[in-house]
Structure 1
């Protein structure tokens, strides 16, 4: 999936959040409802977050340049951190407005209008968040994923406010309004925590998730008969890009051309299973004195052996079944 699709869904998120923010704010003021106004604040922060996501998606897909030689992927992680901070600001504003009303609840008007707006908001955000999440997972975009989680949180809080309006309609208990608003705040704080944890981890070069590292090891295992061992696997993420490097131990007698082809094949498979991955493979000759022969299952074919001139004893030791071919080459 290309940049155009990512930009398209990010722009759609901006438009929907703008409409919902204006609608909720107008209705909340008409109703004198702190829970609906809190939802308007929530959607306003979603709007700011979607604008940031839109800008970061465009920036992160710029190619590497002289100042950013690893690309611009971490712009998306930075955007997600900013979004999380904005969520915390929203939570503080809601609590500031809701807490005093716990001790002096005021009448909430136009309940039917509020229910209509909350129901419409939930439906719109279900659709938009589903599209955002699909594109985010297909492209590995943390900014779009953060935006999708924002909207999914908004769905839950809108439904909560809708339920609160229903309770007020049935019972006349206006204190439900600030209670629901504080409940909205708890969902907002949880979203902020999750975003901060993941994005700060990427900024600090935390390794890839367990399931992604498992995919990497499965790909490497599929080539087990072509190398001695792999060591020092390191992984990290920057926006939609994944980076990894490791040492690949190969038989000392293996031709450099064959080793290069092996590395290329591994890289292609890694990219097929983890889009956006960039692998740096450092090939090293085996060290029989360090016990590499004990774990080696590689056997160089007769053609490869014949092409090697002056095969060293270490290669013969690592691949003992080729000793006869090597002797014939050394003593025609």
Structure 2
């Protein structure tokens, strides 16, 4: 069992315990805020199972049906998790408003002293447990670039804040006796959950529509290319996308027209290797093409100096001119 699977399983175990505790105490005490936290943890439990499935499936190698691997399974799982917690937030809002109406019209809203005491205990335990587990999940998610684990960690990190909020609210109810604070706190929990679901949707869904890599990662690719600027003319049609933890990069590399194929191949290999060193799980595809423009040819009989000049290289050093160096990045 690899590290990603281990931490995903840890999340399943912790959420199972917390969901059971919160729901039982919430129903027994009649506390809407405790019950809303139980619903939240229940959704986290479903999300933890989805994350566990996703990390196990995404680690499978490419096959005949999935030639580019299974990385996007993590993005699909993250999107599903975001939808689930959004639905949970709507459920909490509905129940909270219902509870407020009952209190206003004197039809309920009482929270027992025992329920308050047990609620304070379970909220404290929940906050500490989720802080430990979410920190562990986030460390592994960042190290392995796992969207599924990061989504699970964000869920639990949100649960930490909401648990602390409910803890403070229950303490105020115990001191003041104002039971209307209970559904109001539940509404606050729901709003925090909605924000978390929106943030998670943005992060998980973007790779499903092949959004380009972030600017800082594209700059790293350009930096690697420019280290070899004296060996090629220019690069263009730089395209990037991400699938789970995998980065897919392809570009066109223009080389002097009569460069031996073996030299071009070795150059492409070096560039691919160096990009892979700088960017985790980068799969690079380079299409090499000869220097040739519509209005200017690159005849071999004119010599290398002529070829370099016509291909916009400095004939003295063979280096690419500054205005050409950035062309691939700008066009990409």
Q: TM class by shorter-chain length?
A: 0.7 to 0.9
Q: Is the 8 A contact 2:251 2:285 kept in 1?
A: yes
SS of residue paired to 1:108: coil
Q: Which among 24, 28, 34 is matched to residue 30 of structure 1?
A: 28
Matches within 5 A, 1:5-44: 5-44=3-42
Whether the aligned pair in 1 keeps the contact of 2:300 and 2:307 (CA below 8 Å) is no
- Asked if 1:225 is matched to 2:240, the reply is no
- TM-score, length-normalised on structure 1? 0.86
Report SS of the residue matched to 1:249: strand
Equivalences, count: 305
Moved more, 31-40 or 253-262: 253-262
Cα distance in 1 for partners of 2:248, 2:203 equals 16
Once the two structures are TM-superposed, the CA of residue 263 in structure 1 deviates from its matched residue by 1.2
Query: What is the root-mean-square deviation in Å for CA atoms of aligned residues?
Result: 2.1
Q: Distance in 1 between matches of 2:122 and 2:201?
A: 30
Provide the TM-score with structure 2 as the length reference: 0.86
Q: In the alignment, what sits opposite 2:207? A: 202
Contact residue 316 and residue 322 of structure 1 kept, 8 A: no
Q: Cα distance 1:151–1:311, how it changes in 2: closer, same or farther (>3 A)?
A: same
Q: 1:289, CA displacement in angstroms?
A: 6.0
User: Which residue number corresponds to residue 80 of structure 2?
Assistant: 82
- Residues 29-108 of structure 1 mapped to structure 2, 5 A cutoff: 29-105=27-103, 106-108=109-111
Q: Does 1:316 align with 2:305?
A: yes
CA distance in structure 2 between the partners assigned to 1:188 and 1:176 by the alignment? 18
1:226 Cα deviation from its structure 2 partner: 2.4
Give distance in 2, aligned partners of 1:113 and 1:61: 41
Describe the shift of the 1:204–1:322 C-alpha distance in structure 2 as closer, same or farther (beyond 3 A): closer
SS at match of 1:71: coil
CA contact (8 A) 1:228 1:292 kept: no
1:321 is displaced (CA, Å) by 4.7
1:226-265 Cα offsets, whole Å, 9 max, x none, are 2221111111111111111011112223222222111111
Correspondences of 1:1-332 after superposition (within 5 Å): 4-105=2-103, 106-109=109-112, 110=114, 111-287=116-292, 311-313=300-302, 315-319=304-308, 320-321=315-316
Return the alpha-carbon distance in structure 2 between the equivalents of residues 31 and 42 of structure 1.
17
